[in-house]
Amino acid sequence: MTHDDYGRIKIFFDGYTRDFISRAEDSHPYVLKREHTLRVVENMVFLGKSLGLSSQEMGIAKTAALLHDIGRFIQYERYATFSDPASENHAVLGVQVIQEQDLMASYPNIEKTRIIKAISMHNTRYLHRKMDTETLVLTRLLRDADKLDIFGVMTKKYLGTDPEENSYITLNLKDDGLISEDLMTDILKKESIDNRKVKSLNDLKLLHISWVFDLNFREAVKRVDELEFIPLIVSTMPDSKPLASLLDFVKTYMKDNPRKKK
């Protein structure tokens, strides 16, 4: 791929997302996803530079980031939700858009295959290892770049500093004030919580906290730690000794085990 190839993808992305925004009765969900995507591209550049990616590798990484949530727009227009279980897998929808529009016609097949694979796997709970090294690194980078921005968006939402009425990003989950012991146990096992277990707002907060264990690169963990996303999320939950202990556990993990993969 070349710089011009990425430029053409960016022109498509701008026009495609603008169409959804202009025809929507409530444009905010589409604006939110558009802005999220652009920040994920920035995160990808940040992580890519920390790994010393070549200009070619960076172009592939930026393309994957720019297209990773392209399925979110048709998802929300069809179903008025960003919940995959309540609608369709947005990564699958995104791959369909990419293929229908033949967006990467000018890309070498090997690059196109890696990008599509990374997009299709960016929202899965686990990554299987049956990928070539380059595809595995790209997929891990995309997952970390995506999570970094979601941490920021959701922390702002939980703190109540987002003035927009956007309960759709918390999936309209009830705030019953309860803390799931089962989900806390998952975190203490250093497991990323299965989103099918999420039944309440505090469950969702615990899920996001558990993402720390699914981050792949040292700089991603470092940024989550420095921006204090985890303590800020915990601060919005009912105060308790078990929750305080859980916070200490996660903070220690980030300090002592800031991941590794290069």
Q: What is the pLDDT along the chain (262 residues), one digit of tens a residue?
A: 777 899 999 999 999 999 999 999 999 999 999 999 999 999 999 999 999 999 999 999 999 999 999 999 999 999 999 989 899 999 999 999 999 999 999 999 999 999 999 999 999 988 877 889 999 999 999 999 999 999 999 999 999 876 565 678 888 899 999 999 999 999 999 999 998 899 999 999 999 999 999 999 999 999 999 999 999 999 999 999 999 999 999 999 999 865 554 4
In whole angstroms, give the CA distance from residue 248 to residue 262: 27
Longest alpha-carbon distance in the chain: 56
For residue 126, give the amino acid letter.
Y
In whole angstroms, give the CA distance from residue 13 to residue 34: 9
Per-residue DSSP letter, 102: T
- Give me the pLDDT at residue 126, please: 83
CA 250 to each of CA 70, 102, 211, 218: distance values in angstroms, whole numbers, following the listed order: 32, 43, 11, 15
Whether 142 contacts 119, CB under 8 Å: yes
In whole angstroms, give the CA distance from residue 41 to residue 39: 5
Whether 253 contacts 213, CB under 8 Å: yes
In whole angstroms, give the CA distance from residue 218 to residue 215: 8
Phi-psi region of 160 (alpha: psi -120 to 50; beta: other; left: phi over 0): left
In whole angstroms, give the CA distance from residue 94 to residue 91: 5
SS3 for 109-123 is HHHHHHHHHHHHHCC
Give domain limits for the chain.
Answer: 3-146, 173-256
- Give me the pLDDT at residue 262, please: 43
pLDDT tens digits, one per residue of 42-100 = 999 999 999 999 999 999 999 999 999 999 999 999 999 998 989 999 999 999 999 99
> What share of residues in the chain are helix, strand, coil (percent, to 5)?
70, 0, 30
**Is 240 strand, coil or helix?**
coil
- Give me the pLDDT at residue 97, please: 97
Class of the CATH domain delimited by 3-146: mainly alpha
- In degrees and rounded to multiples of 5, residue 239 shows phi and psi of -70, 130
- Give me the pLDDT at residue 172, please: 84
Burial class (CB in 10 A: 0-12, 13-18, 19+), 78: exposed
Tokens of 81: 């939700």
**Is 146 strand, coil or helix?**
helix
